[in-house]
Structure formats: structure tokens, C-alpha cells
Amino acid sequence: MKYKHIFFDLDHTLWDFDANARATLHQMHQDLNLAERGVHDFELFHTNYLAHNERLWERYRKGQIRQDELRLKRMRLALLDFKIGDEELAREMGETFVQLLPTRTIIFPDTIEVLQYLTEKGYHLHLITNGFVKTQYSKLSSCGLDVFFKEVITSEGSNCLKPEKEIFEYALGKAGASVKESIMIGDALDIDILGAMNVGMDQIHVNFNRIDQHIKPTYTVYALKELKDIL
């Protein structure tokens, strides 16, 4: 067996972040009566939120904004698109979203089956995620995925972010693993795949959306069950 340690990304790789975020925002739209407050089009609100969130995460990864700014600003900007300048509402939405989102349980097809298969094959499974400690542990326990992973390395806990090589070195140290016996599995070319390359680790790109690969990974799969063909 070439590899002993498998490092997974969580969001967009195992845990369906987009579907879970949409369900959470939809619940908030109803519970907080946002339609009556001026957010008349949920689909537009959802689309705008995703765009703001992605831009703000990019800034967070570069160390330009803090965690609390990210959580508030994505709601504030999504409301401003509807000409709603309600700071208190934005703050309430930011806090509510962070409370509700990690309790959502939509994971990608074959996630449990594949993790069970890899565990039975004797691999040591770990996570490397740019998420926050409390949030990511909550997601894992809500979905019943926590039982599969020996080490959960977060950007918050390691004080560095993918694709920086330091977070991968930190993860290898925590897992007691060498680069040569380890492989990284993730959806983001510029974060998961490039990050693993930076430290000399093999990678598997989970390319659900069949995007053009400007970075060439060691392996590519288009569905999680295809991991069985490699591992």
C-alpha cells in the first residue's frame, strides 16, 4: 500500500457547503421575515450572498480581514444589494447563520460508503480545513463523520491557511506521517491541490463540476466512489 495517511478537505469535498448554506439562508429568510423587510427575491439574495462570501473568504485567506468581519460583512453586503442598511439585522443574520449552518447534514453521494471503505482498508484518515474549529467539529458530529477522522487540522487551530505549506507540515506532524506516505484529497485546485504540491504531497482533485484544470494534480476523480479505483 503506497499511502498510509489520507488528508481530506471538508467543505465542497465531503460536506456539501453550497446545499447546506442555501438551506440555512432559506430558513433564515423565512424565520426573520426578510421578504417583509425588503428582501423580496430569495434567489437573488442567495446568488449575491455567495458572490460576497467568496470575495470575503479570499480576503480572509490573505489575512486582510478577521473572522468576525467576514461573518458580518457578507450579510451586510447582501442586504445592501436590496438597499437595506440595517446593521442590527446584518449582525443577527451573521450570528444565526453560524449557529444553524453546522447543524446541516447534506453530504455528497457515497461519502459514508467511501470513508468506511478506506477505514476498512487500514488507511489513517485526517482532515485539513480552512474552517473554524467549533464550526467544523459541529458539522462532523451532526453528519456522523467525526468517527472516521483521527486528526482534524483547522486553519484556526494551526494558525495558518491552505495553500500555505505550513498547515500541511503542521498536519503531517500531528498525524505522525511522512509526505511520501500521504495524499491530499480536495476540490479546490488553488487551495487543496496547490497546497499539497507546495509540501511535496501527492493529490487527488475531486472535480465534481468538471472544471478546467489549470493545475495538474496527481489524480482526478469526478465522484467520490472513484476514489476506490485509486486507493
Model confidence pLDDT, tens digit, residues 186-216? 999 999 999 999 999 999 999 999 999 999 9
CATH 3.40.50.1000 residue ranges of the chain are 5-16+107-230
Superfamily of 17-103 according to CATH: Putative phosphatase; domain 2 (1.10.150.240)
Here the cell at position 229 is 479505483
What are the tens digits of pLDDT across the range 50-98?
999 999 988 988 889 988 899 999 999 999 999 999 999 999 999 999 9
Q: Which residues are within 8 A (CB) of 104 and not within 5 positions of it... i.e. 6 or more apart?
A: 20, 23, 24, 139, 142
Beta strands 151-154 and 219-221: pairing type?
unpaired
- Model pTM score: 0.91
Q: Residue 132: its pLDDT value, please?
A: 81
Residue 109 has pLDDT above 90, yes or no: yes
What are the tens digits of pLDDT across the range 147-179?
999 999 998 889 988 999 999 999 999 999 999
Span 117-121, mean pLDDT?
98
CATH 1.10.150.240 residue ranges of the chain are 17-103
Could you give the angle at which helices 67-80 and 42-61 cross, rounded to 10 degrees? 150
Nearest in space to 13 (alpha carbons), one of 187, 183, 132, 136 = 187
What are the tens digits of pLDDT across the range 6-62?
999 999 999 999 999 999 999 999 999 999 999 999 999 999 999 999 999 889 888
Q: Provide the terminal-to-terminal Cα distance of the chain, rounded to the nearest Å.
A: 8
Domain 5-16+107-230 CATH assignment equals 3.50.50.60: no
What are the tens digits of pLDDT across the range 61-72?
888 998 889 999
